[in-house]
């Protein structure tokens, strides 16, 4: 059981790369060297065969001149000792001669001459193979004592009438050939060894240079594993390749993970801080009722009313915290969402006109057409509701809300302006912080938890937009939202499969309507 769960042995990627390079180079070199080695050895063996044939032909020609019907030892000795005319000497112009025996009986050839009956008349060395009568010249490669040898056999025919007067057998033990063969084999082996070593070292050095960022990534991962909150990042590499992109993506992932950890810690801290007060209030009233307040109707009613109010506020706070938590993840869950902005703005404008009839709402729509922006529809509506609700809450005598809708080169701008209390310059930079209230006492009475603007800001930034505020005490505030416009893409006809799914979905809707009826 322990062996089955044992950790596999670690093998460095650099070593694997070096081994792979060495093996690949070995295979390629082996194919090339084998082809060259085979071609060279075949040429050597062909030369040996040709030399054997030449020796046999030369000897045949000399012995065929004898006027006899059967060779004798004396006749053969006269022929082999007889000189053979060679080409003239270039210096003197006089032809020179050398014995036939010297031409055919070199150190690598063994010549044996037989008469018609197969009796050996003359030999220049030890014979490895027995005599065999033949009718034509044959050269064959046969097994020898140590290695293969070449054996050539030919009949000796009289030149005048072509009658067989004897036989000739020439053996080449291929000693010179196999010496060259062994030398070439040794050189090939050394060359292959050198190729493997050189390619392995080169592969290891190249992998060390190329895979160096992986060491930095590993060190960063180990540091983050030991302490997830540690601000450790992979060094930025100035290289345009996959590892450079991997390092950048890894740092981006760590930044996002760190942001989620910080958000979680802040979420827990904010919730515990904000819930401490309502929980204390509820606990105090419950203890009061438990001691003696339940017998006093007035105290009972006041305590129950306070508990219900604090419970409602806790419920609202928890819901807003959940909304804020979801807003932190819009880049993951809603990165492809789009919305026609004019329709949503007009919808929110009409709803607030109906909900707050005592307010005067004004909408300036400067869009030439309904632009599509990169945001989820419910989130855009939630942002506008937060801003309009704040505008209503913080308006005093002048109950007027001004909404504007326009566009610039690549974005749509939405403005929400009120003419109420306004915000001081010192507090203007803090309005988007969690649980921050300009007037904490009055904000709590109005039911606010200080999370609305934080949610709005996180939602807008999650869709790569911006939200800004301009304000002055006593003159009101102007919140301006900028959202990127989605580029128009030519409509593509739905695929057949998509059409079928749409028709099926429509039929299911019709069936549900019929059931409801």
User: How large a percentage of the chain has pLDDT more than 70?
Assistant: 79
Q: Report residue 369: phi and psi, to 5°.
A: -150, 165
Q: How confident is the model at residue 455, as a pLDDT?
A: 82
Burial readout 72-106 (b: 16 or more C-beta within 10 A, e: otherwise): eeebbeebbeeeeeeeeeeeeeeeeeeebbebbbe
SS (H, E, C) 178-219: HHHHHHHHHHHHHHHHHHHHHHHHHHHHHHHHHCHHHHHHHH
Do residues 179 and 83 lie in contact, with contact meaning Cβ atoms separated by under 8 Å? no
pLDDT of residue 208: 81
Residue 237, judged by CB atoms within 10 A of its CB (0-12, 13-18, 19+), counts as middle
pLDDT of residue 43: 92
Per-residue pLDDT tens over the stretch 476-504 = 899 999 999 987 643 344 444 444 555 55
| pTM (predicted TM-score) | 0.48
Question: Can you tell me whether residue 120 is helix, strand or coil?
Answer: strand
Answer yes or no: are the C-beta atoms of 232 and 257 closer than 8 Å: no
Q: How many CB atoms lie within 10 A of CB 225?
A: 9
Which residues is 407 bridged to in the sheet?
412
Specify which residues 414 forms β-bridges with.
Answer: 405, 481
311: pLDDT confidence band, cut at 50, 70 and 90?
A: confident
- The pLDDT score that the predictor gives to residue 495 is 45
Mean pLDDT within 356-384: 90
At residue 251, the pLDDT reads 84
The answer to whether the CB of 113 falls within 8 A of the CB of 104 is no
Give the C-alpha separation, 212 to 234, whole Å.
12
313-340 CB burial, b ≥16 within 10 A, e <16: bbeebeebbebbebbbebeeebeebebe
SS3 268: helix
Which pLDDT tens digit goes with each residue over 321-332?
Answer: 676 666 666 666
């Amino acid at each position: 059981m322990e062996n089955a769960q044992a950790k596999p042995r670690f093998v460095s990627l650099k070593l694997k790369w070096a081994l792979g390079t060495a093996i690949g180079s070995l295979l390629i070199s082996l194919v090339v060297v084998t082809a060259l080695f085979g071609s060279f050895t075949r040429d050597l063996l062909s030369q040996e065969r040709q030399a054997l044939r030449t020796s046999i032909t030369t000897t045949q020609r000399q012995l065929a001149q004898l006027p006899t019907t059967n060779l004798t030892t004396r006749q053969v000795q006269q022929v082999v000792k007889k000189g053979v005319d060679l080409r003239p000497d270039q210096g003197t112009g006089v032809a020179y001669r050398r014995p036939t025996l010297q031409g055919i009986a070199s150190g690598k050839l063994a010549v044996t001459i037989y008469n018609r009956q197969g009796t050996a008349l003359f030999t220049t060395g030890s014979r490895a193979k027995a005599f065999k009568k033949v009718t034509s010249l044959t050269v064959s490669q046969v097994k020898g004592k140590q290695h293969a040898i070449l054996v050539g056999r030919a009949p000796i025919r009289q030149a005048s009438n072509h009658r067989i007067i004897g036989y000739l057998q020439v053996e080449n033990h291929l000693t010179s050939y196999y010496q060259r063969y062994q030398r070439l084999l040794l050189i090939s082996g050394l060359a292959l060894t050198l190729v493997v070593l050189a390619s392995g070292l080169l592969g290891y050095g190249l992998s060390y240079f190329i895979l160096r960022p992986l060491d930095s990534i590993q060190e960063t991962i180990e540091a983050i594993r030991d302490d997830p909150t540690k601000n450790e990042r992979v060094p930025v590499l100035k290289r345009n390749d996959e590892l450079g992109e991997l390092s950048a993506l890894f740092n981006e992932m760590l930044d996002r993970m760190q942001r989620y950890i910080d958000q979680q810690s802040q979420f827990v801290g904010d919730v515990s801080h904000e819930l401490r007060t309502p929980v204390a209030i509820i606990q105090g009233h419950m203890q009061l009722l438990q001691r003696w307040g339940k017998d006093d109707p007035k105290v009972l009613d006041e305590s129950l009313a306070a508990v219900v109010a604090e419970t409602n506020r806790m419920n609202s706070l928890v819901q807003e915290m959940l909304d804020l938590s979801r807003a932190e993840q819009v880049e993951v869950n809603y990165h492809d969402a789009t919305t026609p902005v004019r329709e949503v703005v007009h919808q929110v404008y009409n709803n607030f006109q109906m909900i707050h009839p005592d307010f005067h709402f004004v909408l300036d729509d400067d869009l030439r057409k309904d632009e599509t922006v990169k945001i989820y529809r419910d989130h855009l509506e939630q942002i506008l509701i937060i801003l309009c609700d704040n505008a209503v809450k913080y308006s005093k005598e002048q109950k007027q809300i001004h909404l504007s809708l326009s566009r610039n080169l690549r974005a749509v701008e939405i403005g929400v302006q009120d003419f109420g209390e306004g915000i001081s310059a010192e507090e203007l930079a803090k309005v988007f912080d969690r649980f921050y209230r300009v007037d904490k006492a009055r904000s709590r009475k109005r039911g606010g938890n200080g999370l609305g603007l934080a949610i709005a800001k996180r939602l807008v930034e999650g869709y790569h937009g911006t939200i800004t505020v301009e304000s002055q005490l006593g003159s009101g505030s102007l919140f301006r939202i900028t959202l990127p416009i989605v580029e128009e893409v030519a409509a593509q006809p739905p695929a057949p499969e998509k059409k079928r799914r749409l028709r099926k979905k429509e039929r299911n809707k019709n069936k549900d309507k019929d059931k409801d009826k």
